[in-house]
Chain A
Amino acid sequence: MRLVGRPIPRVEDARILRGRATYLDDIEPPGTLHAGFVRSPYPHARVLRVDMSDALSDPRVIAGYTSLPGPPMAPGGKVRFQGEAVAMLVAVDRYALADALERVVVDYEPLPHVVDPAKALEEGAPLLHEENGSNVAHTARYGSPDAAGAAAPRVLEGELRVQRVVPAAMEPRGVVAAYDGHTLTVWSSTQVPYDVRKEVAGALGLPLSRVRAVQPDVGGAFGSKLIVYPEEVWVAAAAYLLGRPVKWVATRSEDFRATTHGRDMGLAFRVGFDGSGRVRSLWGRITCDVGAYHWGEGLSDIAARMLTGPYDIREAGVEVVDVYTNKTPLGAYRGAGRPEATFFVERIMDMVADELGLDPVEVRRANLVRGLPYTNPFGMTYDTGDYTGTLEAALSRLGYYELLRWADEEWARGRLVGVGLSIYVEVTTFGFETAIVRAEPDGSFTVVTGTTPHGQGVATGIAQIVADELEVPLESVRVVWGDTALVQDGIGTMGSRSITAGGSAALLAARRLREGLKAAAEQLLGSPVQYSGGRFWGPNGEAQIGDVVRAIYRGRASGPLEAYEVYNARSTYPFGVHVAVVEVDPETGHVRPVLYRSYDDAGEIVNPLLAEGQIHGGVLQGVGQALYEEAVYDGEGNLITANLALYGVPTFAEAPRYEVRFAERPHRSEHPTGTKGVGEIGAIAATPAVVRAVEHAVRRVRPGARATSTPLTPEKVWMMLRP
């Protein structure tokens, strides 16, 4: 029986849930020293002098650095966000380190700062990077420049905003590095060990063969660990220079400032439409607050290029402006541009419907792309699907109209509930990925995936795929990852790509190995053979797959023992319809997520249990974006939501009841796995659905109310409810 398609519990569970996983902080080679950073309390300042002499007078302090191989500390003699590193100390233990960090004296000359992107674009605004001449980090234009002035029977203009959030992975970032005189090993809580290896080797002028990067178990990342951070290179460099293991683990407060934030985009739009709700034109200008450094390249571009969403809007144009401000740099966060695009276009669809007094579903239906593949005005080609058919199926499976009727009845009983619907198309998967499938001497198989899972259950999914391809039991396949000593190159887990790019690479490697083993079996048995269920047979007899493998290991047959496959995966496009139900307290403005239903066509679903888990987690992050979370900077440039006591990540107690469904007859991608990816769906679809649900409730009390920015805090909802 095929394993793909079955809801198999994660094989990773036994380790993770019993506390047997090895996270970064669990790694401590003998003699490890501890590194820490002196970080700027100012959002923008010139660093005049760093005096480490007092700290270094403590015999427990081994070294102090204001520069190391790798990126410069305080580049150009300035710090540009609160929390930026100006110096690094290395001490014998963390107590000594914490004491010593307080004894470093830094003379700062505070400079005027700017935290509001609109102000940062004004004439005379403080410049973060003087050599750049302005605070504009990047601009781009996509689609038709004429969209801005396009004629249409009705026109609506407005502004929308998605707030800045903190990815807040449960495990903060951290690095351990050790140099044994020959090999520099770098363990990092990262999504990109291959890039860590390359950057460290590059900074130290070492050949790649002498640098090994290891991704231990990682307690969440959500995109915030997919760049190589300066600390990773500096800690590795210190270990190399000192010849002793060095470790750095961020505290939670440090992580809140020194790990990239997400979202933070605004859209000014002009939409032209007719009386039936058909959208004739869409023009938008996306302003993205990238923070102090442009580490999150491409986020606003993706948002721009997905701005028309699943709708066939031919006359469309977008301008993008990325702006520097004195904040933590922006980076990828689950969805990376697509949640923003989806929020924008779904808000616009709701507004068009409200303007015309039409059913929001009617307006969406009138605009949905018909006939795939479809190339949107920004050159993105949606591969497969049946958007109108899936919408109709979703409406009935999700009971959308029943929920609306129920909401009416509840209101008649005095209870204020709202129902919101969102539709999305998202782009997943890009680039090459690597897999090695190796036959072990006992006939079991090891798969080394180039992906870098960190909680998703990818190892289970890939094991299912490979076990099916080899026709062996799941228990015969073990999946490992995250060590450049195991696999030299890959990209990693991000962009909902692992099961599609990594799974396809593994599938093709398994197929090639199986063909190779078949040829070996034919040598052994002296005849053409057939294969099924782990057994080769022909007219002269049969051989178990393990027998064939052992024959190769012992030189009695020739054939491959492993297959190394690199698969280049073009992008693919999941599509789906989500419905959120919330209850609103009309007196306090408090919003309680009650129910969440989803219906997704994400291609083949390798493991419905794990796919559902991905939807749950993503949805809760989307709920957080809609209702709870915001990285708030005050006028002085202080991050005031600076740790988990002050920053409202929703917990299990805030979670709605989930009812997750996948399309019964999904549209496969072109990839061998037929998958499209599910990792980011929830984070993309949930925010607009929840926001509409709140607005739907509020509009019973205040018919004209409109939600244009997130988060919809209770106070904001309370304001919307007031006369």
Chain B
Amino acid sequence: MFPPELDYVRARSLDEAIGVLASREDAVPIAGGQSLVPLLKLRAVSPGLLVDIRGLKGLGGVDVGGPIRIGALATHGDIEGHAELRARCPVMAEAASKIADVQVRSFGTVGGSLAHADPLADWPPVLMALDAEVHVHGPSGSRAIPMGDFVRGPYTTALERGELVTGIVVRDCPRGAAYLKYAYRHGDFAVVAVAAALRADGGHVSEARLAAIGVADRPLRLGQAEARLAGVPVSEDAFADAAEAAARSVSPPDDHRASSGYRRALLATLVKRALRAAAGR
């Protein structure tokens, strides 16, 4: 890697990191480096200062004692391999296992993924379907941002200057949740992927949350499909109906990886499959 000259500092505390980031316009945090390093390599970005936050205490770890709390520095691999989390919220382990490969999973962090906001990142749709909160800390203190409000566009988030993602909180992880990712090759970024969280009461859908990537320039909550599921009997017909509504509600991008029409068809297939998988858990 031969980026333009840059400074590097290893932050010793969260406050120090935030102080440096807020004071220097050209400073950026680096966590696992799995998105930032490729960009530096291509000279697509040229920060003046890298603030390494990996050593920060208290930003890692997975805690399933009360609500599920995952530190920003938890790697995809930490999440994938956490036995208690897998028992409490299997969809998170499922999603983690579908990110890239072992090397990337053992460096890349959930906080970095959220902050980077690649339109095809896997965490946002999953965390949207789980109604998670993103916890951030910055020069003006801490706040919690609903996942649905966090991503504002491609590579754009609600983070303000100097703010760091500190963790995510999932208060409600239904057992009936699934993440269906369609990629061309094992470990590729998704073409289209769908996260579904489903609750049923007496054979009827009591709650359905759906989110997708690959059908817009950002992760989308599939509100119209969710609406079709409200209160209906859990059935293949209902899933097909929701899938159709989802497909109708989007106008996916058209690029060399996939046409708009194909993405739409994939979305319908994946919504159906995700609901089926969620209902089966």
Chain A residues in contact with chain B, CB under 8 A? 94-95, 97-99, 102, 253, 587-588, 590, 628, 632, 634, 640-641, 645, 648, 650-651, 653-654, 713-715, 718
| Chain B residue at minimal CB-CB distance from A97 | B2
Name the A residues within 8 Å of B265 (CB-CB): 587, 718
* Closest chain A CB from B5 CB (angstroms): 7
- Against A, the Cβ 8 Å flags (1 = close, 0 = not) of B237-269 are 000000000000000000010110010011001
Chain B: residues with CB nearer than 8 A to chain A? 2-5, 38, 42-43, 182, 184-188, 191, 256, 258-259, 262, 265-266, 269
Q: Are the CB atoms of B256 and A634 closer together than 8 Å? A: yes
Q: Are B184 and A628 in contact (CB under 8 A)?
A: yes
A632 to B255, CA, bound (A): 11
* Given A95-B5, A98-B4, 20 extra CB contacts under 8 A: A94-B2, A98-B43, A99-B5, A253-B42, A587-B265, A587-B269, A588-B182, A588-B269, A590-B182, A640-B256, A641-B256, A645-B38, A651-B185, A651-B187, A653-B187, A714-B191, A714-B262, A715-B258, A715-B262, A718-B265
Q: Which of B38, B43, B256, B258 contacts A102 (CB 8 A)?
A: B43
On whether the beta carbons of A654 and B186 are closer than 8 Å, the reply is yes
Kindly state the separation between the CA atoms of A650 and B185 in the bound complex, as whole angstroms.
7
Distance in Å: Cβ of A38 to nearest Cβ of chain B: 14
Q: Which residue of B lies closest to A653 (CB)?
A: B186
B266 & A588 in contact (Cβ 8 Å cutoff): yes
**What would be 11 A-B contacts, judged by CB atoms less than 8 Å apart?**
A95-B2, A98-B4, A99-B5, A587-B265, A588-B182, A588-B266, A648-B185, A650-B185, A653-B185, A713-B184, A715-B259
Chain A residues contacting B5 (CB-CB under 8 Å) are 95, 99
Instruction: List the A side residues contacting B269 at CB < 8 Å.
Output: 587-588
The 5 closest A-B pairs by CB, nearest first: A653-B186, A98-B2, A587-B269, A715-B262, A94-B2
Measured between beta carbons, the chain B residues less than 8 angstroms from A590 are: 182, 184
The docked-state distance in angstroms from the alpha carbon of A640 to that of B188 is 17
Q: What's the minimum C-beta distance from A174 to chain B, rounded to whole angstroms? A: 15
List the A side residues contacting B262 at CB < 8 Å: 714-715, 718
Q: List residues of chain A with CB within 8 A of the CB of B43.
A: 98, 102
Q: Is the CB of A648 within 8 A of B184?
A: yes
Smallest beta-carbon distance B56→chain A, Å? 28
- Min CB gap B259→A, angstroms: 6
Q: Which residues of A are found within 8 Å of B188, using beta-carbon distances?
A: 648
- Residues of B close to A718: CB separation below 8 A: 262, 265
A713 cross-chain contacts in B, Cβ below 8 A: 184
A654 to B101, CA, bound (A): 13
Q: Who on chain A is nearest to B262 by CB?
A: A715
Residue in chain B with minimal CB distance to A589: B262
- Measured between beta carbons, the chain B residues less than 8 angstroms from A97 are 2
Chain A neighbourhood of B187, CB < 8 A:
651, 653
Contact A654 B266, beta carbon cutoff 8 Å: no
- CB of B4 to closest CB in A, whole Å: 6
Contacts of A651 in B (CB 8 A): 185-187
A residues within 8 A CB of B3? 98
| A645 surroundings in chain B (CB, below 8 A) | 38
**Inside 8 A of B185's CB, which chain A residues have their CB?**
628, 648, 650-651, 653-654
Distance between A246 CB and nearest chain B CB, rounded to angstroms? 17
Q: Which of B38, B184, B259: most chain A CB closer than 10 A?
A: B184
Closest partner residue, chain B, to A643 (CB atom) = B42
The minimal Cβ–Cβ distance linking A350 to chain B, given in whole angstroms, is: 25
Closest B-chain residue to A93, C-beta based?
B2
Known: A102-B43, A588-B266. A714 touches B2 (CB 8 A): no
CB distance from B100 to the nearest CB of A (A): 11
* Interfacial chain A residues near B182, Cβ < 8 Å: 588, 590
B102 to chain A minimum Cβ distance, whole angstroms, is 11
In the bound assembly, the distance between CA atoms of A460 and B42 in angstroms comes to 40
The complex places the Cα of A95 from the Cα of B2 at a distance, in Å, of: 5
Instruction: Give Cα A94–Cα B191 distance, bound, in whole angstroms.
Output: 36
Contacts of B38 in A (CB 8 A): 645
How many Å from the CB of B105 to the closest CB on chain A? 14
Q: How far is the CB of B211 from chain A (nearest CB, A)?
A: 19
Bound form: Cα–Cα A590–B192 in Å: 13
Which B residues touch A588, using CB under 8 A?
182, 266, 269
The smallest beta-carbon distance between B200 and chain A, in angstroms, is: 24
B175 CB to nearest A CB, Å: 26
Q: Report the separation of the CA atoms of residues A55 and B4 in the bound assembly, to the nearest whole angstrom.
A: 14
How distant is A28 from chain B, measured CB to nearest CB, in Å? Answer: 15
Q: Nearest chain B CB to A367's CB is how many angstroms away?
A: 36
With CB as the reference atom, state the residue of chain A lying closest to B272. A587
In the assembled complex, the Cα of A588 lies from the Cα of B273 at a distance in Å of: 12
A714 to B256, CA, bound (A): 12
Docked Cα-Cα span, A648 to B265, in Å, equals 22
Instruction: Please tell me which one of the listed residues A98, A632, A650 contacts residue B256 in the complex, with CB atoms under 8 A apart.
Output: A632
Nearest residue (CB) in A for B186 is A653
Q: How long is the Cα–Cα vector from A628 to B188 in the complex, in angstroms?
A: 12
A641 — nearest CB in chain B belongs to which residue? B256
Max count, chain B CB within 10 A of own CB: residue among A102, A588, A713? A588
Q: Which residue of A lies closest to B258 (CB)?
A: A715
Chain A residues positioned under 8 Å from B256 (CB to CB) = 632, 634, 640-641
C-alpha gap A180/B68 in the complex (Å): 66
B199, chain A: closest CB distance, angstroms: 26
CB distance from B222 to the nearest CB of A (A): 18
Cα A363 to Cα B186 with chains together (Å): 37
- Chain B residues with CB under 8 A of A99: 4-5
A649 to B, closest residue via Cβ? B185
For residue B189, which residue of chain A has the nearest CB? A645
CA distance A645 to B256 in the complex (A): 14
Q: How long is the Cα–Cα vector from A1 to B2 in the complex, in angstroms?
A: 54
User: Using Cβ atoms and an 8 Å threshold, which residues of chain B touch A715?
Assistant: 258-259, 262
How many angstroms between the C-alpha atoms of A454 and B164 in the bound complex? 48
Residue of A nearest to B2 (CB): A98
Q: How far is the CA of A40 from the CA of B186 in the complex (A)?
A: 34
Chain B residues with CB under 8 A of A102: 43
Q: Which residues of B are found within 8 Å of A632, using beta-carbon distances? A: 256
Nearest B residue to A587 via CB reads B269
Bound Cα distance A348, B73 (Å) = 56
A253 and B186 alpha carbons, distance in the complex (Å): 22
Chain B residue with minimal CB distance to A34?
A: B2
User: Please, how many angstroms separate the alpha-carbon atoms of A645 and B188 in the complex?
Assistant: 9
Give the Cβ gap from B273 to chain A, nearest Cβ, in Å: 8
Query: What is the CA–CA distance of A520 and B201 in the complex, to the nearest angstrom?
Result: 96
Beta-carbon nearest neighbor of B38 in chain A: A645
Instruction: Closest B residue to A630 by CB, please name it.
Output: B256
Residues of A within 8 A of B186 (CB): 651, 653-654
The smallest C-beta distance from A689 to any residue of chain B, in angstroms, reads: 20
Chain B: CB-nearest residue to A716: B262
With both beta carbons as reference points, the residue of chain A lying nearest to B273 in the complex is identified as A587
| CB-CB nearest in chain A for B265 | A718
Asked, given contacts A632-B256, A634-B256, whether A714 binds B184 with beta carbons under 8 Å apart, the answer is yes
- Closest residue of chain A to B4 (Cβ to Cβ) is A99
CA distance A646 to B182 in the complex (A): 16
What distance in Å separates the Cβ of B270 from its nearest Cβ neighbour in chain A?
8
Chain A residue nearest to B266 (CB atoms) is A588
Contacts of B191 in A (CB 8 A): 714
**In the complex, what distance in Å separates the CA atom of A612 from the CA atom of B265?**
40
**Residues of chain A with a CB closer than 8 A to B42's CB:** 253
Q: Which residues of A contact B258 (CB under 8 A)?
A: 715
Using CB atoms, name the residue of chain B closest to A652. Answer: B186
Q: How far is the CB of B271 from chain A (nearest CB, A)?
A: 12
A700 to B266, CA, bound (A): 21
Within 8 Å CB of A654, what residues of B? 185-186
Q: Give Cα distance in the complex from A648 to B188, angstroms.
A: 9
Shortest CB-to-CB span from A672 to chain B, Å, is 43
**Considering only CB atoms, which chain B residue lies closest to A251 in the complex?**
B41
- Report the bound CA distance from A236 to B187 in whole Å: 41
Closest Cβ–Cβ distance, residue B257 to chain A (whole Å) = 9
Q: Which residues of chain B are near A628, meaning CB under 8 Å?
A: 184-185
- The docked-state distance in angstroms from the alpha carbon of A714 to that of B190 is 13
Which of B2, B266, B269 has the most chain A CB atoms inside 10 A of its CB? B2
Q: Which residues of B contact A714 (CB under 8 A)?
A: 184, 191, 262
